[in-house]
């Protein structure tokens, strides 16, 4: 009787293994999404402890049920685990299934390998049949596998991998095949894919779990690398678009400046005609508007002037007040195209955020460029409405299709890091702030 009990892995073993693997998989996403780590710990405890209690009770109560009930009970277990990881990751159903498949096989391998070691030592009469010996053997094995899983998950972590049904399907097939084949001997007894010996059953189950798990991680790494290449390509496209916009803006601003120059001469000619006080007052008003335009867009850096002029025209059209206090000469060490990417993306994001403000009087954008000791300091601030979520210190786009959005902020960081600087994003009291520090 004791031999039969030893062959069957206890349900509590699986409960602990599933809980560890699924919690690790979900916790990595949670950790990277929380700006305050104390909030992460609190959130993880709130979600994981009830899950541990429910899962342990369920696995113990259903342990040792008939073979006919095995498949339905396992499907129910998997469904519950998918819900658990969906809650932790706050992801779609497809993403939950995708990550759950990998975490499930980690749990299967963890439990089967831990119990296989105990079975071997028990058969060799190295350990006794007791709960303390089971715990002492399982604990280091579970910890080792958990640490390896954390390292693997961190290495392949990508917060915005595009997961759809086409990418979920092969993951489901691999996980289902590995689980079915590894447990076939327990369900059906003697088959071409199983063994009548206890040692053989353990070896087959553990090895197949490991093989399936390896396939899932290789597949996941390939998707992560593909996603990284796609992100790089999109980032390059964003920068190329900003460069093209800069060239167009340069031509547009040059044309506007020529027209303004012509208007100034025409005003001088009209003033000589002396058509009365009202007419002269109108000319002075027009001349003052031209002078304010010229003063507004002369920062000491021609590239910055072009960008600010182009964006100020957009702001005027949308009822946004753009104020600039900039020491353009401080930007002299930066390439013009890098300035186009940096300020173009920063102002595009600021305009997009300000447009969400319903009251036009509160649509405000402030830009400042200054020197502080040995550093160049750039600040772009804008009013916004709603909530802004941050992941790894970067704001997450609110748009539904995240594949083609959010690259503006990545482009900003790329340019700043090129010059050895640092970027900080902050959102507080309905003000979104971009702070850049670059050593000179």
Residue 97 has pLDDT above 90, yes or no: yes
Q: With 50 as the cut, is the pLDDT of residue 147 above it?
A: yes
CA 123 to the chain's CA centroid:
48
- Dihedral angle sign, alpha carbons of residues 336, 341, 344, 350: negative
pLDDT at 256 exceeding the cut of 70: no
Q: What letter would DSSP give residue 10? A: P
Confidence of residue 253 (pLDDT cuts 50, 70, 90): low
Average pLDDT over residues 139-146: 93
Answer yes or no: is pLDDT of 18 > 80. Answer: yes
The H or E element that residue 29 is part of is helix 11-33
**Mean of per-residue pLDDT scores for the chain:** 81
Mean pLDDT of 87-95: 88
Instruction: Please state, as a whole number, how many other Cβ atoms lie within 10 Å of the Cβ of residue 379.
Output: 16
Per-residue confidence band for 1, with pLDDT thresholds at 50, 70 and 90: very low
The three-class DSSP label of residue 394 is strand
Q: Return the CATH architecture of domain 297-439.
A: 2-Layer Sandwich (3.30)
Instruction: List the structure tokens of 365.
Output: 């954008």
- Supply the pLDDT for residue 273: 65
The per-residue pLDDT for 5 is: 46
> Is residue 369 classed as helix, strand or coil in its secondary structure?
strand
pLDDT tens readout for residues 403-426: 545 677 888 888 899 999 999 999
Least-confidence region, from 6-20, 106-120, 359-373: 6-20
Residue 210's Cβ-count burial label (10 Å; 0-12, 13-18, 19+) is: middle
Is the confidence at residue 297, as pLDDT, over 80?
no
- In this prediction, residue 435 has a pLDDT band, given cuts at 50, 70 and 90, of very high
For 159-170, write each residue's pLDDT tens digit: 567 788 888 999
Residue 403 exposure: Cα atoms within 13 Å on the Cβ side: 10
Whether 2 shows a pLDDT value over 50: the answer reads: no
Which residue ranges make up each domain of the chain?
11-234, 297-439
């Amino acid at each position: 009787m004791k031999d039969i009990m030893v062959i069957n892995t206890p349900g509590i073993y699986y409960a602990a293994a599933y809980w560890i693997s699924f919690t690790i998989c979900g916790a990595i996403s949670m950790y990277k999404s929380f700006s305050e780590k104390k909030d992460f710990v609190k959130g993880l405890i709130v979600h994981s402890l009830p899950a541990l209690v429910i899962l342990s009770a369920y696995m113990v109560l259903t342990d040792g049920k008939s073979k006919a009930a095995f498949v339905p009970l396992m499907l129910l277990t998997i469904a519950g685990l998918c819900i658990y990881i969906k809650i932790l990751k706050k992801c779609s159903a497809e993403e939950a299934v995708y990550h759950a498949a990998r975490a499930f096989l980690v749990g299967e391998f963890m439990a089967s390998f831990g119990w296989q070691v105990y079975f071997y030592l028990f058969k060799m009469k190295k350990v006794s049949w007791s709960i303390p010996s089971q715990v002492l053997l399982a604990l280091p094995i579970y910890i080792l596998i958990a640490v390896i899983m954390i390292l693997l998950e961190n290495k392949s972590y990508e917060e915005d991998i595009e997961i759809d049904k086409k990418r979920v399907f092969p993951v489901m097939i691999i996980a289902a095949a590995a689980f079915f084949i590894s447990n076939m001997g327990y369900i059906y007894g003697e088959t071409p894919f199983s063994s009548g010996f206890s040692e053989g059953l353990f070896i087959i189950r553990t090895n197949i779990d490991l093989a399936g798990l390896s396939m899932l991680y290789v597949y996941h790494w390939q998707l992560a690398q593909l996603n990284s290449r796609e992100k790089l390509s999109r980032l390059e496209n964003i920068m190329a678009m900003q460069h093209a916009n800069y060239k167009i803006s340069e031509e547009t601003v040059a044309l506007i400046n020529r027209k303004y120059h012509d208007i100034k001469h025409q005003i001088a000619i009209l003033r000589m005609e002396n058509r009365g006080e009202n007419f002269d007052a109108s000319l002075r008003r027009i001349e003052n508007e031209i002078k304010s335009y010229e003063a507004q867009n002369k920062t000491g850096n021609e590239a910055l002037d072009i960008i600010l002029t182009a964006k100020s025209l957009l702001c005027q059209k949308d009822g946004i007040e753009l104020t600039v206090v900039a020491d353009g000469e401080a930007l002299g060490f930066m390439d013009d195209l890098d300035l186009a990417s940096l300020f173009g993306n920063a102002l595009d994001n600021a305009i997009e955020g300000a447009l969400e403000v319903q009251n036009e009087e509160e649509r405000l954008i402030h830009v400042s460029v200054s020197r502080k000791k040995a550093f160049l300091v750039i600040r772009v601030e804008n009013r916004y409405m709603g909530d802004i979520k941050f992941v790894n210190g970067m704001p997450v786009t609110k748009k539904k299709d995240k594949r083609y959005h959010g690259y503006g902020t990545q482009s900003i960081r790329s340019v700043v890091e090129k010059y050895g600087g640092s970027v900080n994003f902050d959102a507080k009291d309905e003000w979104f702030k971009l702070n850049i520090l670059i050593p000179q």
